[in-house]
Amino acid sequence: MSDGPEKELALEERKFLHDISNKLVIVQGMSSILKTKLEKVADQLDPKDLERLGKVIKAGEAMTDMIRARRSILIERSEDPE
């Protein structure tokens, strides 16, 4: 890709996705810690609550995979062929 507006846009999108990914990693990490702690007192909770938290974690993982795939495409498109 030449050094035109398309390459600049691709680089900006890569940075944006990187920043979102960083925040998402925090959400995933904190959710996993919370789930581990809540599992220790599961008998005091509504089982649906742990199930919901599991869905949150699963959705975060899916979003991370989507971001990773999109960034790969952008990296491929924005790098100069050798």
For the chain, 82 residues long, give each residue's pLDDT as a single digit of tens. Answer: 567 888 888 889 999 999 999 999 999 999 999 999 999 999 999 999 999 999 999 999 999 999 999 999 888 877 766 6
Contact 33, 57 (CB under 8 A): no
pTM: 0.78
Domain residue ranges in the chain: 5-78
| First-to-last C-alpha distance (Å) of the chain | 11
- Cα–Cα distance, 21 to 15 (Å, whole number): 10
**Closest CA relative to residue 61, chosen from 34, 33, 21:** 21
